[in-house]
Amino acid sequence: MPDRLRVFSGSSNPELAQEIADRLYLPIGSITINKFSNENIKVKINESVRGKDVFVVQTSCPPVSDNVMELLIMLHAFKSASAGRITAVLPYFPYVRSDKKDEPRISISARLMADLLATAGADRVLTMDLHADQIQGFFNMPADQLLALPILCKYFEQKKMEDLVVVAGDVGRAKLNRRYAERLNAPLAILDKRREDDSEKAEVVSVIGDVEGKNALMFDDEILTGGSLMELIRALKEKGAKEIYAGITHGILAGQAVERIKESPVKELVLTNTVPVPKEKRIDKIKVLSVAELFAEVIKRIHHSESISTIFAIEK
């Protein structure tokens, strides 16, 4: 790999950053990050990056605000150090749910994040499975969205499950889940899910499609507290589904999520490591897949100015 390519890591997910660097046969870049008693953050780059193609890996996980601020300071430091090009690698994009103005007098925070990244010095953004595709339009710079679809589908294809049905968690996720269904050559069912407030718990009122006697497989971009997952499982069980699996890109697993998963009849919950999943949360029902190989390949192609569209193009 040319000497101009460098990969650096913030504090949020150093394991993933190291794995990406390893797959590129590169050492992780040397950087020092200090947080002082007044909670100010200082970033010092310990090597020359003048003219280099720099990729900064930082995901959105607790403490979210600290990690966002740390990333912005890192980007600004690289800009000040005359890096040739700076790409913010955000496996899980911060404030991704705040993507529209659906209430009066609120901020579209995902757009604010895009503006802050540009102001701090990012020339490009690389992310995975945004909550809504429209967020790509918030950027005035190249922004590539990778899909976890090939990673998750490959895992479930190897299981060779019979009587499989892919289930969309709500009408809004039907388009995404249809792509998974086509890839897995399975029919699609849709849950009519209603959420009345910001409690992160939804009520399933009906099921569109046939799930009786079938193995159900659900896909979504993220799981927070698991409240919605419980409703999905209940509805599918009531309709006679056999084993229930879920493939979810970003495993936040906040609050009582792990306990809910453990006590639920879900057979297996498959996550990726876009967000770090601590060992104490990796119960038997939870499987974590790595996205490092995909990110490494895309970083390599960006560095060489090669097309990346074929990586996440979906065969019909």
Tell me whether residue 262 is one of the annotated catalytic residues: no
Residue at token pair 């399933």: 204
From the centroid of its chain, how far is CA 75?
Answer: 21
Q: How far apart are CA 241 and CA 191, in angstroms?
A: 13
The catalytic position among 42, 160, 193, 239 is: 193
Length of the chain: 316
Name the amino acid, one letter, at 227. Answer: G
The answer to whether the peptide bond before residue 63 is cis (omega within 30 degrees of 0) is yes
Residue at token pair 């980007």: 75
Could you list the active site residues? 193
